[in-house]
Chain A
Amino acid sequence: MTAIRKFRENGATFFLLLALMAIFSLPRVLRAATVEEIAMIKSADRQKILVEGAKKEGKITWYTTLIVDQVVRPVKEAFEKEYPFVQLEFYRGNSENVVRKMLAEYQAKRYDVDLIDGTVSPVMVQRAGFLQRFYSPALADYPAELKDPQGFWGSTNLYFFALGYNTKMVKANEVPKSYADLLNPRWRGKMMWSTSRGSGAPMFIGNVLTSMGEEAGKAYLQKLKAQSIAKSTASNRQILDLVIAGEYPLAVHIFNHHAYISKSAGAPVDWYPIEPVTATIQTLALAKNAAHPHATMLFLDFVFSEKGQKVFQQSNYLPAHPKVNAKQADLKAGGGRFKKAVYMTPDVQFDKGNEWVDYFQDQFLKQ
């Protein structure tokens, strides 16, 4: 009873205090900062806000197309060393899988994912309206083609495509060095390429049509058709291994760093950049309703920074950052072996990819 009376006596003061507290904390209590606000912070205390927020979040979920063993794990370790209070979790799949998973989850209003990457997947998610624009100071150093003009994605690393050949079967002076050289009748039936949309024949076709122009490009491809290049749904890595095994002397369109890695291990294989080479960009983007926006922004800053890019370098990936060389410098455009590259940005891949896939199917498959 006394307690209640006491409460009544002090009631006025109590409620006044409560009301004051409520007014002062109104912005925080009623409305936590949205993902958009956090992603676009440009103030001087940005880092402090992000770190404080990240400490509460403690976690990031990343849907990745990168190779876990080769690069995701080192990146995770380096990042968690920098910010020990954040745990990085990942799901790995190919472009199609990560997109499918994220879209299905978003439709069901389940917002597990914070980050999504790929050479084309972020754009697919962007078109669906499930990406959040962000600002990362680290992206200032990057050239225009390696970041989204609207701020939806930045790049982590690059891929360059080259001709791979078996050095026991093809002498150095015989290696095809231009697109025209691929038409030499001696290579008929001796070449293989992958059917993969993102890295195989369709990408090669896209490069030819872009760099030579539609008309000249198609005329060239009609001649190439006569070379009866073997197709496989195997990945570029496996096709290169078939070349190493001697099944085919030439792989038309493989990742140059794969050939380099195998060559370093002593395999009878090398790569030749037929210019302009095809280049694709590994991009990284923020999910619209990311559950851990502070921590995720810290991560984005980290991977785009020179420090984060060095992790990619040390993992034998080709860093996107213009100031960070590849471990083997000549694997990157301008690194000594080739200059001209056609960058297939995610948007171009998305918009033109179907055409290239169709052209490949109609011309090279249904003959």
Chain B
Amino acid sequence: MARQQPYETVEPPLNSRRSNPSGSFGLKPTSRFGPETYVLILVSVITAYLVLPPLYSVIQTSLFTTKFTGELDEFTFSFYQDLFRELQVLGPLLNTMYFSVASAFLATCIGGIIAWIVTRTDAPLRGLGYFTAFASFGTPFILYTIGWLLLLGRAGPVNFWLKTLFNQTEPVLNVYSMWGMVFVESLLWSPFVFLMLAASFRSMDPSLEEASAVCGARVWQTLRRISLRLMLPAFFSVVLLIFIRAFESFEIPALVGLPGDIRVLTTSILLDAQRMPPTYGRAGAFAMLLMLVVAGALYAYSRVTREASKFHTITGKGYRPALIQLGPWRYLAAAGLVVYSFILLVLPFLIVLWASLLPFYMQPSLEAFSQFTLKNFVTAIHFPKLTDSIKNSILLGLGSATAVMLLTTFASWLLVRTKLRGRWLLDLLTTLPLLFPGIVMGLAIMRFYLIVPIPIYGTLWILLVAFVTRYIPYGIRYTHSGLLQLHRELEEAAYASGASWTHCMRRITLPLLTPSFLGGWIFIFLLSAKELSMSILLVSPRTPVVSVAIYELWENGQVGELAAFGVIWTAILVSIAVTYYLFARRYGIQQV
């Protein structure tokens, strides 16, 4: 093995002889239709089955007007014309760009630094990073945003404190602004960055860093010139995902930006959807435009990562990365973790908890303290079909996380290990669901299963199908960057020793991929618990889910009731996530 390795990587002829796209090489003769071929077919068929109907629907939506009955009416380019007219107004476009770039950058910085401290240093309190990520991501999205608005709002405690400090009469901070949007959006997505980069950092090849250290590089130099470069695929993934999410998101811009008159591209789309009969033509056209941009990005990315060997960090030489000794700096790192946890989790959670305990919202004060009541919790517990909703949401979370991670693991394997020409198309296909407007996708899936004779309409299964489709893009980014780090030689060694493809997958590839797999799994589990835009159309009287209940409270309940419901749901999700984490640490991830 050790003797073979340099031979493997240095000598090109062996590489070029490896024309067999199936991924098994040299020594082990395989038939043309090994299990990997079936995997290729299966993965492509499943992905196409899930993704193409909504894609078709998005294209259709963007090109046709609809009748009152919802049937297609006339072919039109007007939605595209509207969109381009909108693009010519510079303000919203610039705002959108600024918002997306800044959010992606800030979230990556925050999540990246925390991930590095947690996985690669000997700083104390590292478990806090995981807990914070789970707990903050488990908080219902609406509640999280409202929490920040209450905290940073004109009448909120932060402004009160700043006013006293600077002796001002007017509010010092205006959260209804661009920085407010970027701040909330990047905090919201930093757990995603954290989970993804933590998985990558954990799989770092220590020898390269050691080599750098031996050559006299400082910790920062090593980090900048070695570690960060090796992490390029993972960085690309998080930046791409957050950029797209921010670009097409309308929730934060609407709740935080709109009151301050900051318009982005999605603002008009959102308000357009209020027209009756509702059309989503503009939303469809916008998604199509976004698709072009993302296709370009993915194509470029596929060219960059074509030389996959550049990013291999898990090799046959043992990959457990050494913890970097920070010395006295480790307390600073721990302090950083505490601050992160405080800002990301404790602050918004406290204000939500505070709101849940009051009969109506009051700014934090001693006077308010005396009015504490559990009334909101009583209301929340008596919410209709609460236990059914919780059961369904948890089932859906478990199901979609598992299905997505399995599917995307194999899809990523095809993308990374095979030499098929149109691989980046599969990559694009798996990324598309991210670009579909939720409501259009919900409608597409609803219509599809009303027409095709697969009797899942009105059951939990249709929700599962929708969720799996929706979350494929996240799964693929986790497993793709995870696999890029895995050196081929490990699989080759297995084949050389006579292992079959299935055996190799089961004993080598999948176990080594565990950190990415588990990171993606928990992320999708938590994400699916929040899914709203599709669920709201696809639930039936007998299949209630929690996110729809939360939305109902958001539209009609008082802040306190919403908060109480949110606190209960967050508590449930976090206990599941923590149990999972402890379990995973014991059986999967060897180190924290």
Contacts and interface: CB of A to CB of B under 8 A. Distances in A.
Contacts of B387: none
B31 interface: no
Given A68-B384, A110-B450, A265-B360, A350 B541 contact: no
Interface in B254-273: 254-255, 258-261, 263, 267-268, 270-271, 273
A4 to B, nearest CB: 43
Contacts of B259: 192, 230-232
A246 B270 CA distance: 27
Contacts of B382: 69
A104 B447 contact: yes
B329 interface: no
Contacts of A92: 548, 552
Contact of B270 (A68, A73, A230, A233): A233
A361 interface: yes
A213 interface: no
B558 A241 contact: yes
B450 A104 contact: yes
B145 to A, nearest CB: 10
Interface string B396-410: 000000000000000
Given A235-B556, A246-B155, A124 B68 contact: yes
Given A128-B69, A361-B268, A235 B254 contact: no
B373 to A, nearest CB: 10
A52 interface: no
Contacts of A110: 450, 457
A107 B70 contact: yes
B451 interface: yes
A167 to B, nearest CB: 12
Interface string A85-112: 0000111111011011101111110101
A262 B360 contact: yes
B509 to A, nearest CB: 42
Interface string A208-247: 0000000000000000000010111111011001101111
Given A244-B361, A247-B155, A108 B447 contact: yes
A100 B263 CA distance: 28
A244 B360 contact: yes
Interface string B121-151: 0000000000000000000000000100110
* Top-10 shortest CB links A-B: A246-B155, A108-B450, A267-B360, A233-B254, A103-B70, A230-B259, A197-B274, A89-B541, A128-B69, A241-B559
A357 interface: yes
B450 A107 contact: yes
A108 B556 contact: no
Given A89-B542, A235-B555, A247 B154 contact: yes
Interface stretch (B10-18, B468-476, B532-540): B532-540
A128 B68 contact: yes
A124 B555 contact: no
Nearest to B543: A91
Contact of A237 (B258, B379, B557): B557
Interface string B355-373: 0000111110000000100
Nearest to B258: A231
B554 interface: yes
Q: How many interface residues does chain A have, given as a range?
A: 35 or more
Contacts of B443: 100, 104
A20 B22 CA distance: 74
B586 interface: no
A244 B291 CA distance: 43
A266 B359 contact: yes
Contact of A232 (B71, B258, B271, B451): B258
Contacts of B548: 92
Interface of B: 67-71, 146, 149-150, 153-155, 176, 254-255, 258-261, 263, 267-268, 270-271, 273-278, 359-363, 371, 379, 382-384, 443, 446-447, 450-451, 457-458, 536-537, 539-542, 548, 552, 554-559
Contact of A129 (B69, B359, B362, B384): B69
Given A195-B258, A238-B146, A365-B263, A100 B276 contact: no
Contacts of B360: 241, 244, 262, 265-267, 269
A70 interface: yes
B276 A353 contact: yes
Given A120-B276, A195-B271, A73 B384 contact: yes
Contacts of A104: 70, 443, 446-447, 450
Contacts of B447: 104, 107-108
A127 interface: yes
A13 interface: no
A69 B361 contact: no
Nearest to A231: B258
Nearest to A130: B69
A170 interface: no
B582 to A, nearest CB: 36
Contacts of A266: 359-360, 371
A99 B260 CA distance: 32
Nearest to A269: B360
A140 interface: no
Nearest to B145: A234
Most buried by B among A195, A197, A238, A360: A238
Contacts of B384: 68-69, 72-73
A286 B559 CA distance: 34
Given A91-B540, A100-B443, A266-B359, A106 B69 contact: yes
Contacts of A357: 271, 274-275
18 contacts: A67-B556, A68-B552, A73-B384, A93-B536, A100-B446, A106-B69, A107-B69, A195-B258, A230-B176, A230-B261, A238-B554, A238-B559, A245-B361, A246-B155, A248-B154, A262-B558, A266-B371, A365-B267
Contacts of B554: 235, 238
A267 B556 contact: no
Contacts of B255: 232-234
B199 to A, nearest CB: 35
Contact of B153 (A69, A245, A269): A245
B539 A91 contact: yes
A61 interface: yes
Nearest to B154: A247
A112 B146 CA distance: 37
